[in-house]
Amino acid sequence: MSIAENLARIQNQIHDACARAHRSPGEVALMAVSKVHPVEVILEAHAAGQHLFGENRVQEWQQKFPTASPLEGLRMHLIGPLQSNKTTKAAELFDGVDTVDSLKIAQRLDAAAKALGKVLPIHIEIKLSHEESKHGIQPEDLPALLAYLPSLQNLTPAGLMTVPPWSEDPEAARPYFQRLRQLRDQHLPGAGLSMGMSGDFAVAIAEGSTCIRVGTALFGKRLYPAPA
């Protein structure tokens, strides 16, 4: 299947999930996750009408940037963990950072965005599972971070983001999506919810997702290079 065919199929699935949830498909953005794949997949998806993309490493996007960034209307978000020594590069190269997980990162991103004269939309990543490998701030630390954000004038809080523990069963993710939505309703009413991936985006849409991040269903399996 071509990327264009996959895109059309996923859009149909988004429409179906929205219809079941009595939501409008216009409320759910599809983010194409191009990490690990060559830059050509971005060109191909863009030619098929896709504009919003996600990469999970600053360096990887830096390599693809010269080829892909001139594409009309392209928006690239960072969806992987951000280290403080990469905040300047991230603010420069990305159109949004969806994985802000500390005050320090927020402050550094804000300073970098300010120096560039740009306003950066951010999502705050929340850690809802106990897995070591998962990133994000603890839910109890969210109010303090949100209280500080208005003083960071070059960041716009666009919503919350989470990655549930991996499971073959999409239903296993539902409680995590519900929890993120509760936190949003409580602390950032009306803001976005970046949640749902290839295996569970229909469940995420039912639970209120405003941005699903889809890699495998669109671009196929990621073939990681063998470790050196």
Ligand X SMILES: *Cc1c(COP(=O)(O)O)cnc(C)c1O
Q: Contact positions toward ligand X, by CB under 6 A?
A: 33, 35, 56, 79-80, 163, 197-199, 213-217
Least Å distance, CB 61 to ligand X, is 13
Which lies closer to ligand X via its Cβ, residue 25 or residue 199? 199
What's the one-letter identity of residue 118?
K
Least Å distance, CB 222 to ligand X, is 7
CB neighbourhood size of 221 (10 A) = 9
Nearest-CB residue for ligand X? 215
Which lies closer to ligand X via its Cβ, residue 81 or residue 154? 81
Q: How far apart are CA 60 and CA 78, in angstroms?
A: 11
Which lies closer to ligand X via its Cβ, residue 114 or residue 134? 134
Which lies closer to ligand X via its Cβ, residue 157 or residue 219? 219
Which lies closer to ligand X via its Cβ, residue 111 or residue 170? 170
Which lies closer to ligand X via its Cβ, residue 85 or residue 133? 133
Least Å distance, CB 209 to ligand X, is 12
Least Å distance, CB 184 to ligand X, is 17
Q: How far apart are CA 18 and CA 129, in angstroms?
A: 26
Least Å distance, CB 197 to ligand X, is 4
Least Å distance, CB 36 to ligand X, is 8
